[in-house]
């Protein structure tokens, strides 16, 4: 639960004022300010339901009946001015035969969402897109969480996709358990603004000027180093053994980080400098490598399309050859001069089409050979050739000598990490439906991460990789949609 602690009220002695508890219906209608309340306790939590507990006496000043005692029941709200809004659950009445005391426990307002059932079918979903909230994960949550709105959402979560198996559970459980695990995020509820805020777990937040030391609150500090949780060589996997080998400039599925041992001085200075230089080289090559991977992917797509087109051309040539054979037979069987002239004219037309078709096939074969050459790893200037050159340059076994590798080896603490929500997608080369040229219109892209790699010198191209965001086309028939990823060559 999100609270503004700057609004808390204190008495003359610097102690927090005891909150006034207002009893409300679930619809927010105020019933009363609860009298004869005592023993108020609050347990405020950030990313899970907060709690309030208190007791209510059945009599005022021990004699007069409390007129609102029986109104304090489950599924009513407790409204406080600064400490949040709570929903009462399972109040307990204790009686000694003379008077009654009701022990009340309440949970922060988001607890009401625990009564909603949330369903996700199997598929891949975007967490949030403020421009097109429909069918995003947070959009689906808001469809059930009536009255709540989207508050702050970390920019890193916009356009973040994850894959789900068919899942059905309570809405609050999904928000506090399933979604944080899938998207690495934290849900925080503002009961006053009725907003749902979502933070990326790795997002840096502003530091509060609150300092604890031995001169104010601290008496003793125990710090335990979690040595068994340290990993310096990580091998990440997704679903179906998906790995990062194809996008890792060092050509393996490993990610390394020896900063812990270097900062401790465990690795000699010269080797530490060489290690850091290697890491910088990887970062410097990352953009180029990513661009080459994008060019290879788009070129592979062009190759599939060209091969498919070639297959169609060859089938068309076979049809024309069959027509040629039939026409030749018809010409041989024709007995009249007029009939022979008709068949000869038809044969000439077919022969012309065959000549054109063979020329098209020849050109298409040349195009395919050119594309294949640009993908041939044995050709140094090809995409795969340059990709391999980067891998050869940065490979751990090539950059460091055998003696240096032996020194570094004990510091490689290996750990596999598997996240099944990361999946490999396949693209079909088959096309269906109709297509039409896009002319005299505009293409608008919003909220996307766009990276440019300039290949003007090497390939006379500029490559743009696009991830996340939305696109819209305006050319008479307006079209819009979400972007998962894409490449653009100019």
Strands 64-65 and 59-60, by their bridges, are antiparallel
> Considering only CA atoms, which of 449, 448, 420, 1 is closest in space to residue 186?
1
Partners of residue 468 on adjacent β-strands: none
d(C-alpha 56, C-alpha 66), whole Å: 9
d(C-alpha 87, C-alpha 77), whole Å: 4
d(C-alpha 255, C-alpha 414), whole Å: 10
d(C-alpha 227, C-alpha 59), whole Å: 58
Q: Which two tokens stand for residue 69?
A: 């005692």
pTM for the model stands at 0.61
- With left for phi above 0 and alpha for psi between -120 and 50, is residue 39 left, alpha or beta? left
Residue 402 burial (C-beta neighbours within 10 Å; 0-12, 13-18, 19+): exposed
The reported pLDDT for the residue numbered 148 is 95
Report in angstroms the alpha-carbon separations of 227 from 1, 98, 315: 33, 60, 66
Q: Are 61 and 38 in contact (CB under 8 A)?
A: no
The reported pLDDT for the residue numbered 295 is 84
Taken as a whole, the chain contains a residue count of 490
Report in angstroms the alpha-carbon separations of 259 from 134, 232, 306: 43, 8, 48
> Considering only CA atoms, which of 140, 102, 145 is closest in space to residue 121?
140
d(C-alpha 88, C-alpha 73), whole Å: 7
DSSP track, 99-127:
-EEEEEEEEEGGGGGGGSEEEE-SEEEES
DSSP secondary structure code for residue 228 in this structure: G
The reported pLDDT for the residue numbered 424 is 61
The reported pLDDT for the residue numbered 434 is 46
The reported pLDDT for the residue numbered 251 is 86
Judged by DSSP in three states, 213 sits in coil
Q: Which two tokens stand for residue 297?
A: 């992917």
Q: What is the mean pLDDT of each run of 10 residues along the chain (490 residues)?
A: 80 84 93 93 90 92 85 94 93 87 95 93 89 89 94 90 88 94 93 94 77 80 90 88 85 93 94 95 88 85 90 93 91 87 91 94 93 89 90 92 94 88 55 55 79 74 76 71 73
The reported pLDDT for the residue numbered 272 is 96
Helices 337-375 and 383-394 cross at an angle (nearest 10°) of 10
The reported pLDDT for the residue numbered 488 is 74
């Amino acid at each position: 639960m999100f609270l503004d602690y700057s609004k808390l009220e204190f008495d003359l002695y610097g102690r927090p004022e005891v909150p006034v508890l207002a009893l409300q219906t679930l619809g927010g209608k105020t019933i009363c300010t609860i009298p004869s309340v005592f023993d108020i306790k609050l347990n405020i939590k950030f990313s899970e339901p907060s709690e309030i507990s208190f007791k209510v006496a059945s009599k005022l000043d021990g004699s007069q009946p409390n007129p609102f005692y029986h109104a304090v029941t489950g599924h009513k709200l407790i409204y406080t001015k600064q400490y949040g809004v709570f929903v009462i659950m399972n109040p307990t009445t204790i009686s000694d035969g003379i008077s009654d005391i009701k022990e009340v426990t309440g949970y922060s307002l988001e607890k009401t969402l625990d009564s909603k059932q949330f369903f996700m079918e199997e598929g891949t979903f975007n967490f949030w897109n403020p421009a097109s909230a429909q069918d995003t994960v947070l959009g689906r949550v808001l469809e059930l969480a009536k009255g709540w709105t989207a508050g702050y959402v970390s920019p890193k979560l916009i356009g973040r996709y994850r894959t789900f198996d068919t899942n059905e559970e309570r809405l609050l459980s999904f928000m506090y358990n399933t979604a944080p695990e899938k998207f690495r995020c934290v849900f925080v509820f503002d009961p006053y603004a009725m907003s749902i805020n979502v933070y990326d777990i790795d997002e840096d937040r502003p530091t509060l000027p609150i300092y604890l030391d031995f001169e104010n609150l601290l008496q003793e500090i125990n710090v335990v180093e979690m040595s068994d949780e340290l990993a310096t060589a990580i091998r990440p996997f997704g679903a179906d053994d998906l790995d990062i080998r194809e996008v890792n400039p060092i050509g393996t599925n490993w990610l390394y980080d020896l900063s812990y041992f270097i900062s401790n001085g465990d690795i000699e200075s010269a080797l530490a400098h060489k290690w850091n230089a290697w890491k910088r080289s990887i970062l410097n090559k990352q953009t180029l490598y990513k661009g080459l991977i994008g060019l290879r992917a788009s070129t592979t797509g062009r190759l599939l399309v060209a091969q498919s087109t070639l297959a169609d051309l060859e089938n068309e040539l076979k049809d024309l050859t069959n027509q040629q054979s039939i026409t030749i037979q018809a010409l041989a069987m024709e007995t009249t001069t007029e009939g022979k002239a008709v068949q000869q004219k038809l044969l000439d037309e077919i022969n012309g089409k065959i000549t054109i078709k063979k020329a098209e096939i020849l050109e298409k074969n040349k195009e395919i050979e050119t594309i294949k050459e640009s993908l041939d790893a044995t050709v140094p200037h090809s995409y795969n050739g340059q990709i391999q050159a980067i891998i050869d340059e940065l490979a751990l076994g090539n950059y460091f000598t055998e003696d240096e590798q032996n020194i570094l080896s004990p510091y490689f603490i290996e750990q596999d990490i598997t996240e099944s929500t990361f999946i490999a997608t396949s693209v079909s080369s088959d096309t269906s439906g109709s297509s039409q040229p896009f002319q005299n219109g505009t293409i608008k892209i919003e909220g996307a991460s766009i990276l440019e790699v300039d290949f003007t010198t090497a390939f006379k191209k500029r490559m743009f990789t696009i991830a996340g965001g939305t696109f819209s086309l305006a050319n008479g028939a307006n079209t819009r949609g979400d972007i998962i990823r894409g490449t653009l060559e100019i």
